[in-house]
Amino acid sequence: MSDAPAGDARTRYPIADSIPRETLDAEVARLEALASRPLPARLWGYVKLGGPGFMGAALTLGAGSLTASMLSGARFGYKTMWMIWLSVGMGTFMLAVMVRFTCRGGFRVIREQNRRHGRIVGSFLTGIIGCLAVAVIFNAGQVSLGTHLIESLGGLAGVSFPTLVTAVAYAAITIWILLSYGRGGSRGTRFVETFMKVCIGLMLVAFGVSLALVGVDWGAALRGTFVPWLPPGGEGVDLFIASSAAAVGVMDWVFLHYAGLARGWGPKHEALGRMDIGVGLFLPFVVVNLLVIALFAGTFFGSGLAAPETAPELSRALAPLLGARGAEALFFLGFLAVPISTTVGMSLAGAMALHEALGWEPDVRSTRWKIAILLPQAGLIGAWAANPVWIVIVIAAFLSLSGNVVGWSMYLLFNDAAVLGEHRSRSYAWNLGIVLGITLMNAIAIVYVMNRLGWWFG
């Protein structure tokens, strides 16, 4: 931080080093000018300047969360929509903590965890299990969905692509985007952020148009969005815990922190960071999921049509119901943005976390960075086969059992005067939101153990 101006607590992060000081200062000046503008102009300015939040939304909106929404819509109609905004809303408290760490902490969070809570919590549970293992293992599901969608798009054009071609196409797109990150000053990073924003826009347009074609029962949709409902008995508890777990987790926290550091965020970016969580992450996540639930509620729920169980099958079953061929193509294209942007986000998060866990300095031009960022491409196996089940079970076990411990660690850092000084938590409401989120993660870990022991609902 030798070239940082006095009073600038900006944390040195090598990916941000290539951003010229004038660029960062100009961004701060624009932020200061925005603060006095009317709300609409300010919001639009924040959308343009934001990025890490949008990347977080694109990362979270993956095959897993959208499959859950599709199945939920097909099985329960509009009734479970309220869980979407509630679960991601609870996650925003911890995300705001990550923005505080980025802008005011003066540290890199995994390294600080190592110092304060030990390497098992920092490097292993947060970096290796919470980020890298998730990126490598769960990318197979993204690849499987992505390659099927490319195949479906080809089918609409009357072309039949072999699996090898779809897998190569998927890898080529994601690798090209990934290798751009951090290059050319801030240009590479902004390019990837813009790509993620475009992906989110594509999802919104594609699912929005599809929903307009299918039609919405507005009364049921409004009730489902604001009136809590759960299926009776154990199924309801299971559904609530699973939906909450799918919303925001360790990888989202860590990625938001490091993506902010990679943008050179300092103290004056905290307001931008918070807006980025709201406008870039919360809103797109909620709207896209609500659109998908409504889409499947309007087509499958109560129709007597059998809804398949996997994302590729569900999308193929829905497309013909949209009527027009162009609408089918738009739906597949919007859906393709889901796995591609998630692969990009997960790969970046995995590479950043691996470097931090092992104490390496990230250099986007180094072979080590390129290998780290391409590790999740091992998921290309997903184009031919389902996930290797035993690995998924082991990682899911670690994840379920460790997410809450990582949450404890973040909460303790946030409440530690020795770590954050005057910027530590001072708000009862903020802490309450974090602790409620942690309590939910505790429940996920406990239910996982109870399931393994056969003590959870039969």
Partner 1 sequence: MIDMDRKLGRWRLRVWGLVINLVANAIALFGIVAVVEGGSPALLIIGATLTVVCVAALAIPPRSDS
Site for partner 1, rule CB under 8 A: 233-234, 237, 404, 408, 411-412, 415-417, 424-429, 431-432, 435-436, 438-439, 442-443, 446-447, 450, 455-457
| 204 versus 443: smaller Cβ distance to partner 1 | 443
Checking 233-242 for CB contacts under 8 A at 24+ apart, the result is: 233/457, 234/456, 234/457, 234/458, 235/457, 237/447, 237/457, 238/447, 238/456, 238/457, 239/72, 239/80, 239/83, 240/83, 241/440, 241/443, 241/444, 241/447, 242/68
Tokens standing for residue 438 = 């942690």
Which helix (H) or strand (E) covers residue 316, if one does? Answer: helix 311-318
State in angstroms the smallest separation of the CB of 262 from partner 1. Answer: 30
The distance of closest approach from Cβ of residue 97 to partner 1 in the complex, given in angstroms and rounded to an integer, is 12
User: Are residues 95 and 256 in contact, defined by beta-carbon separation less than 8 angstroms?
Assistant: yes
Is 133:142 a contact under the CB 8 Å cutoff?
A: no
Q: Minimum distance from CB of 233 to partner 1 (Å)? A: 5
Residue from 315, 380, 382 nearest 155 by CA: 315
Q: What span, in angstroms and rounded, lies between the C-alpha atoms of 62 and 83?
A: 17
Closest approach of partner 1 to the CB of residue 121, in Å: 12
**Residue with Cβ nearer partner 1 (391 or 436):** 436
Nearer to partner 1 (CB atom), residue 212 or residue 450: 450
CB of 411 to partner 1, least distance (A): 7
CB closer to partner 1, 179 vs 446? 446
Indicate the residue among 283 and 435 with the shorter CB distance to partner 1: 435
**Closest to partner 1 by CB, 164 or 436:** 436
For partner 1, the closer of residues 306 and 418 by Cβ is 418
Nearer CB in complex with partner 1: 140/434: 434
For residue 32, give both structure tokens.
Answer: 């200061």
411: number of CA atoms within 13 Å, CB side? 20
Residue 390 or 428: the one with the smaller Cβ distance to partner 1 is 428
The answer to whether the Cα torsion of 334, 318, 392, 244 is positive or negative is: positive
Count of alpha carbons within 13 angstroms of residue 252, beta-carbon side: 29
> How far is Cα 252 from Cα 272, in angstroms, rounded to an integer?
17
Counting every residue written for the chain, the total comes to 458
In the complex with partner 1, which residue's Cβ is closer, 194 or 439? 439
Q: Which of 73, 394, 147, 113 is nearest to 257 (CA)?
A: 113
Least Å distance between CB 68 and partner 1?
Answer: 21
Alpha carbon 225 to its chain centroid, in Å, reads 21
What b/e readout covers 121-160, taking b as 16+ CB neighbours within 10 angstroms? bbbbbbbbbbbbbbbbbbbbbbbbbbbbbbbbbbeeeeee
- With contact defined as beta carbons under 8 Å apart, do 167 and 187 qualify? no
